[in-house]
Every structure is written in C-alpha cells, then in structure tokens.
Amino acid sequence: MESKPVYRLCRISLYDKLLIVLILLVSLLSLLGLKNPTPERKMAIVYHDGKLVEEIDLRHDGIKVISVPEGKMKLEVSKGRIRVIESSCPRKLCVHMGWIKDNKMPIVCVPNKILMEIKGIDSQYDAIAQ
C-alpha cells in the first residue's frame, strides 16, 4: 500500500503578523520620504542665442519685457508660472505655448532666438527621473 504525503497547513502566528505589518509600515514610510521635494524658489531663466539674458523670480507677479536684436517679447508672471503674452515673431508659437510652471517643458521662440526654462533654486537634487 502506497502512503500519501502529508501536507501540513502553515498557520501564521502573531509574530508573523506583526512582522508583516512592520515591513508594510517601513515600506510606506520610505515611499513618503522619497516624494519629490518642491524647491523653495523657482526662477524662469531666459537665454538669447545661448547666453543668459534674464533671471525672473516666479514669486513676484507682473509683466516683464525682453528686448533682443531680433525683436521684443512681453512675459507675464502669475502664481509661480510664466507665459509669453506678446512677441514680435511672425507665427507667435511661443505665445500659443501657454503657461509653464515646471522644468518639463521650456518655451522656445526660434525667430527671436529665445529659450525660457524654469529652474528650482535651493533644491537638493540636480535632476529627478520619472
């Protein structure tokens, strides 16, 4: 007669449950600690033909005019974001780009040779990959 293997059911003890809860808590706390810190201060950096022209603090709302040999651009700063409201370029693509508030998308005006991007000041990271 052939004997069948005996399978023992494993029961989870109180200590096993406590260990599982502890591991979950440590995991959640480490995820909360890795959140993307918001820089204290954001600046819009404006370049003309690769050279720094202007640094605009996004904490102060207002209108700023940038004059370059190719033309003029009028910028609006509001609520920590910036946009181009007027430009001397023919197609006005920079105006249609709208508001930018982070470093994910710069504003580029090719006819005026302007590049505008946002940088965080006092940030502890150089770059953050997503």
Q: Is residue 99 part of a domain?
A: yes
103: domain CATH number is 2.60.320.10
Q: Is residue 127 part of a domain?
A: no
pLDDT band at 6 (very low <50, low <70, confident <90, very high): low
Over residues 66-105, the pLDDT tens digits come to 999 988 999 999 998 999 999 999 999 999 999 998 888 9
Q: Is residue 104 part of a domain?
A: yes
Q: Is residue 76 part of a domain?
A: yes
Q: What percent of the chain has pLDDT over 90?
A: 56
Residue type for 95, please? V
End-to-end CA distance of the chain: 62
pLDDT band at 30 (very low <50, low <70, confident <90, very high): confident
Over residues 91-102, the pLDDT tens digits come to 999 999 999 988
pLDDT at 110: 93
Domain that holds residue 68: 41-121
Q: Is the pLDDT of residue 40 over 70?
A: no
Q: Is residue 94 part of a domain?
A: yes
What does the DSSP 8-state code read for residue 59? T
Q: Is residue 16 part of a domain?
A: no
What integer best gives the mean pLDDT of the chain?
A: 85
Task: Give which of 64, 61, 88 is closest to 74, Cα–Cα.
Answer: 64
